[in-house]
Structure 1
Amino acid sequence: MIELPEYDGTLTAYQPRTAPRPLTPSGAPIRSRAVFSTAHVVADPLAANSPLLLGWEPFSPPALDWDATLAFRRHLWSHGFALAEALDTQNRALGLDWATSAELIRRSAAEAKAVGGRIGGGVWTDQLDPMRPHTVEEIVAAYEEQIEAVEDAGAELIIMASPALPAVAQGPDDYARVYQRLLGQAREKVILHWVLPESDPRLTGYWGYTEWDKALEAFLAVVDDNVDKIDGVKVWPLGRDQEIELRRRVPAGVHVYNGDITDFPELIAGDEQGHSDALASVFDPLAPIVAEGFRALDEGDTARFRAELESTLPLAQQLFEGNALTMRFFKTGFVFLAWLSGHQDHFRMVWGEQSARSVPHLSKVYRLADQLGLFPDPELAERRMRVVLATAGLD
Structure 2
Amino acid sequence: MIPYGRQSIDEDDIAAVAAALRSDYLTTGPRVEAFEADLAQATGAAHAVVCNSGTAALYIAARALGLGPGDVAIVPSMTFLATASAPFLAGAEIVFADVDPDTGLMRPEDLERAIAEARRRFPEGRLAAAFVVHLNGQCADMPALKALCDARDLFLVEDACHALGGATRRADEPEAAGREARVGDTRWSHLACFSFHPVKTIAMGEGGAVTTQDAALAEALRLHRNHGMVRDPERWRHRDMGFDAGGEPNPWYYELETPGLNFRVPDVLCALGSSQLKKLDRFVAGRAEVVAHYDRAIAGLAPAILGPAKVPWGRPAWHLFAARVDWATLGVERGAAMRLLRAQAVGTQVHYIPLHRQPFWERRYGRQDLSGAEAYYAAALSLPLFAAMEYADVGRVVQSLEKLSAGAAQPRSP
Q: Same fold per TM (> 0.5)?
A: no
Bigger Rg over Cα: 2
User: Which structure ranks higher in relative contact order (CA pairs < 8 Å, sequence separation ≥ 6)?
Assistant: 2
> What TM-score comes out, normalization by structure 1 length?
0.29
> What TM-score comes out, normalization by structure 2 length?
0.28
